[in-house]
A and B are shown apart, each in its own frame.
Chain A
């Protein structure tokens, strides 16, 4: 790990001023940042520690029935907050399907949005990576790339965004609150992450020194609570990133789908909302035929970026599974293996 200066600001304004110095990085829990620094992938000259900054760790109810979630709220605290889990069960399920219990106890909301890709070539300083070193090339293109992107990728970068949390969040229209030296602004989560294009090192719309202070879920998003699921296919049962994942949130009226909110994870450099698939389902009767049509629309633009063509059909099937489970209704209690396609949605144990 490189040497760095350590700064512990007492207010958001102090933090933003401190981080405006080039070479600075914010430290929340550090569960991703310290890992990257130990590997020499990130080498910030100063860390601006948010541990003592007040006003970042509350879950607040909003007048419209939505919630404002402070950027330093821990993943586990959010997932187990009864008011949150009741209103946004698919988001709670996604959170509990990510990482391990230890990491969820530490990792924060803001850090989850800003975590870096787990592309092995990005993590290996001996490999060429345009994201780590602009212009260096991309060893993933001809490398071990079966888990890489099938949507929105470029010749310069085929990495995916690894978050589970962001997938139902983007489906439900979450908004990111950002503080910078010029004041506060808001960006829909859908527009927060950038696709790689020719500048894969720029992963979000944050300007240098800007700080994510909160994520907001609008009250209308709670209208999907009765039919909301997240499904995540992993290469092992637990404690693994998604091969592909899907969030499906439905509002049913008189047996038909009044409105659908759908997003995919593990397929692109950002959580991938699929409005075309949502449109297919509007007014449709829930069922295998409509779900398959929606899945076809969701992946219509998908292209393999390497040995990963299988992910396209897998993503369709995981989306159909998520829709099928969502249509059956959100379970009273999350299954023992949250988001697992291997779990019974009723929460009954697989192994007796």
Chain B
């Protein structure tokens, strides 16, 4: 069976022929598009290392069939920075030492970008922790992650405040 889908990955339109409907979005990104920033941890939706944005929403790419996402817009960690300038969430993770080994970091960062877009956490660290509970960090960098998310959220809100003023 040959199935063809189109995806926009990090703003680049792609037409992809799939010879097997079993390919997950995660395996498509890593194995066929060579975008290995998105990590395969548990591969069962439990660890969050594979988090990407699909049509602007954070999801576990390991539990998404690529063939079912024909026409979707996918944003991965590779598409986040503006050229050499890190995204504010990336910059905040560096500033707050929000990782140790780094394996969960792409998923943490994509999840944080999704959390900030959802706009439900506000400046409450408890709500940030709850909103990030789908991303595990075995090094235990949670303290720095929470601080980084809160700081990135403040920075991303600043231009809007200036406009409003």
Interface residue ranges, A against B (CB under 8 Å): 1, 3-6, 27, 29-31, 34-35, 38-39, 47, 49, 51, 76, 80, 99-103, 105-106, 237-239, 336-338, 349-351
Inter-chain CA distance A239–B126, complex, in Å, is 14
Inter-chain CA distance A103–B135, complex, in Å, is 11
Q: Pick from B1, B51, B67, B125: contact of A102, CB below 8 A.
A: B51
Inter-chain CA distance A170–B59, complex, in Å, is 28
The smallest C-beta distance from A255 to any residue of chain B, in angstroms, reads: 34
A31 lies within 8 A of B45 (CB): yes
Which of chain B's residues have a CB closer than 8 A to the CB of A106? 57, 59-60, 63-64
Judged by a CB distance under 8 angstroms, whether B100 is at the interface is: no
Judged by a CB distance under 8 angstroms, whether B39 is at the interface is: no
B133 lies within 8 A of A49 (CB): no
Inter-chain CA distance A49–B20, complex, in Å, is 15
Using a Cβ–Cβ cut-off of 8 Å, how many residues does chain B contribute to the interface with A?
38
The smallest C-beta distance from B40 to any residue of chain A, in angstroms, reads: 12
Q: Pick from A35, A80, A349: contact of B63, CB below 8 A.
A: A35
Which of chain A's residues have a CB closer than 8 A to the CB of B64? 29-30, 34, 106
B120 lies within 8 A of A4 (CB): no
B134 lies within 8 A of A100 (CB): yes
Judged by a CB distance under 8 angstroms, whether B3 is at the interface is: yes
B67 lies within 8 A of A6 (CB): yes
Closest to B127 in A: A336
Inter-chain CA distance A351–B124, complex, in Å, is 10
A6 lies within 8 A of B60 (CB): no
* Selected A-B contacts with CB under 8 Å, 15 pairs: A4-B22, A6-B21, A30-B64, A31-B63, A51-B68, A51-B70, A80-B118, A100-B48, A101-B118, A102-B48, A102-B59, A103-B60, A106-B64, A239-B133, A336-B127
Which of chain A's residues have a CB closer than 8 A to the CB of B1? 5-6
Inter-chain CA distance A4–B23, complex, in Å, is 12
A38 lies within 8 A of B134 (CB): no
The smallest C-beta distance from A25 to any residue of chain B, in angstroms, reads: 12
Closest to A104 in B: B134
Contact flags (1/0) for B43-82 with A, using CB distance below 8 Å?
1110010010000011110011101111000000000000
B130 lies within 8 A of A238 (CB): yes
The smallest C-beta distance from A206 to any residue of chain B, in angstroms, reads: 22
A101 lies within 8 A of B126 (CB): no
B3 lies within 8 A of A6 (CB): yes
Closest to B132 in A: A101
Judged by a CB distance under 8 angstroms, whether B111 is at the interface is: yes
The smallest C-beta distance from A224 to any residue of chain B, in angstroms, reads: 24
Which of chain B's residues have a CB closer than 8 A to the CB of A349? 124-126
Closest to A340 in B: B130
Q: In the complex where A31-B45, A106-B60 touch, is A351 in contact with B111 (Cβ < 8 A)?
A: no
Which of chain B's residues have a CB closer than 8 A to the CB of A337? 126, 130
Q: Pick from B67, B126, B131: contact of A351, CB below 8 A.
A: B126
Inter-chain CA distance A105–B54, complex, in Å, is 10
A103 lies within 8 A of B21 (CB): no
A49 lies within 8 A of B115 (CB): no
Closest to A77 in B: B57
Q: In the complex where A6-B1, A105-B59 touch, is A35 in contact with B126 (Cβ < 8 A)?
A: no
What 10 A-B pairs are tightest by C-beta distance, nearest first? A100-B134, A238-B133, A6-B21, A336-B126, A239-B133, A349-B126, A105-B57, A102-B134, A336-B127, A106-B59
Which of chain B's residues have a CB closer than 8 A to the CB of A5? 1, 21
Kindly identify, within residues 127 to 164 of chain B, every residue whose CB is under 8 Å from any CB belonging to chain A.
127, 129-135
Judged by a CB distance under 8 angstroms, whether B114 is at the interface is: yes
Which of chain A's residues have a CB closer than 8 A to the CB of B111? 101-102
Which of chain B's residues have a CB closer than 8 A to the CB of A6? 1, 3, 21, 67
Inter-chain CA distance A350–B126, complex, in Å, is 8
A351 lies within 8 A of B125 (CB): yes
Q: In the complex where A102-B48, A102-B59, A105-B58 touch, is A1 in contact with B22 (Cβ < 8 A)?
A: yes
The smallest C-beta distance from A203 to any residue of chain B, in angstroms, reads: 21
B24 lies within 8 A of A34 (CB): yes
Inter-chain CA distance A27–B135, complex, in Å, is 25
Which of chain B's residues have a CB closer than 8 A to the CB of A351? 125-126
Inter-chain CA distance A49–B127, complex, in Å, is 34
Which of chain B's residues have a CB closer than 8 A to the CB of A101? 58, 111, 114-115, 118, 131-134
Inter-chain CA distance A100–B124, complex, in Å, is 18
Inter-chain CA distance A351–B115, complex, in Å, is 20
Which of chain A's residues have a CB closer than 8 A to the CB of B115? 101
